[in-house]
Amino acid sequence: MSQINTTMGPVEWSLLIVLSLLWGGSFFFVGVAIKVLPPFTIVLLRVGLAALTLHLVLRFKQVRFPKERQILAAFLGMGLLNNVIPFTLIVWGQSHIASGLASILNATTPIFTLLVAHTFTQDEKLSPGRLLGISLGFFGVVVIIGMDSLGGLGTDTLAQLAVLGAALSYAFAGVFGRRFHKLGVPPMITATGQVTASTLVLLPVVLLVDQPWNLPLPGGEAWAAIVALAIFSTALAYILYFRILATAGATNLLLVTFLIPVTAILLGAVFLGEQLTPKDYCGMVLIGLGLIAIDGRVVKRLDFSFSRKTL
């Protein structure tokens, strides 16, 4: 298996930004759909339609879906860690705590990923630059979302632990998902397998909990949001997810958690005319500094220049 590039190149950074846009848009799509559909049904439609879309693409491209038991088991594990467990915990947690606090708790994902990757991999070890960068990025997210969102910290403890559990599950998913590159499974097939496994696991849950046959039929706006959520924020997003994971590793990949708030406020400013506030600029600067520290190239160049001057 090839070594992970701890310093991302222009391609990985570009894909990471696109991924943040796709996942940032998911909050808007969910916000439209949640008005008429219960959470578990939305999640099932999200992964189910994404699975159908990706299978159709594979059929069109005449790509064989793997049937090896080892790969199918890995799809199931990835579906549980990256979709079923975190989606369920976040949905339940957000029903008890404010969305701002949930977003801050979810932004701990890169921190957990750094620790999990350090423990279970050989080429994604903890370094001072990464630790500093992730700390700056996390505080940048807190500043953007608002320090007042931390006011609920300490109440509804189980709900907060649920969202933290989701962040930890995402961290393990990032490390677990590295095996697909070793198994020779391309990103598109991996994305297809993951959402297919998630659909099969979630289907009985939705049938038992939401009983969708009793729900009113959603309108055109809700269906448009669900289709966009499935195709763009899930199918396409997970193809990029596994593409970045294969070359840049779990820690770099889950930096997208820091970029999502930035892309969300920039999209709001460009398309909705929303005004950026000083805390938005401050938070973006902190996140930018954090990403620079994690990337490491600027720090290395400064250290090299300083070394040459002192010789």
Quick check: is 2 in a domain? no
Would you write out the chain's pLDDT as a tens digit for each of its 311 residues? 445 556 678 888 899 999 988 987 787 788 788 888 888 898 899 999 999 999 999 999 999 999 999 999 999 999 999 999 988 888 788 777 776 777 788 888 888 998 999 999 888 888 888 888 889 989 998 898 887 777 777 777 888 899 899 999 999 999 999 999 889 999 999 999 999 999 999 999 999 999 988 988 889 999 999 999 999 999 999 999 999 988 888 888 888 888 888 887 787 777 767 788 898 899 899 998 988 887 766 655 655 454 555 55
**How many alpha carbons lie under 13 Å from residue 36 in its C-beta half-sphere?**
14
CB atoms within 10 A of CB 78: 24
Quick check: is 33 in a domain? yes
d(CA 38, CA 40): 6
Q: Please tell me whether the overall predicted TM-score, pTM, comes out greater than 0.75 for this model.
A: yes
d(CA 127, CA 63): 40
Domain count, the chain: 1
Q: What DSSP letter does each residue of the chain carry, written as one string?
A: -PPP-SS--HHHHHHHHHHHHHHHHHHHHHHHHTTTS-HHHHHHHHHHHHHHHHHHHHHHTTPPPP--HHHHHHHHHHHIIIIIHHHHHHHHHHTTS-HHHHHHHHTTHHHHHHHHHHHH-SSS---HHHHHHHHHHHHHHHHHH-GGGGGGTTSSHHHHHHHHHHHHHHHHHHHHTTHHHHTT--HHHHHHHHHHHHHHHHHHHHHHHT-GGGSPPP-HHHHHHHHHHHIIIIIIHHHHHHHHHHHHHHHHHTTHHHHHHHHHHHHHHHHS-PPPPHHHHHHHHHHHHHHHHHH-HHHHHHHHHHHHHH-
Quick check: is 3 in a domain? no
d(CA 287, CA 300): 19
Could you tell me the two tokens for 92?
A: 């339940």
Quick check: is 199 in a domain? yes
Quick check: is 227 in a domain? yes
Quick check: is 198 in a domain? yes
Range of the domain at 162: 10-310
Q: Under a CB-based contact definition with an 8 Å cutoff, are residues 296 and 129 in contact? A: yes
Quick check: is 295 in a domain? yes
Q: Under a CB-based contact definition with an 8 Å cutoff, are residues 180 and 243 in contact? A: no
Could you tell me the two tokens for 187?
A: 């990103």
Quick check: is 4 in a domain? no
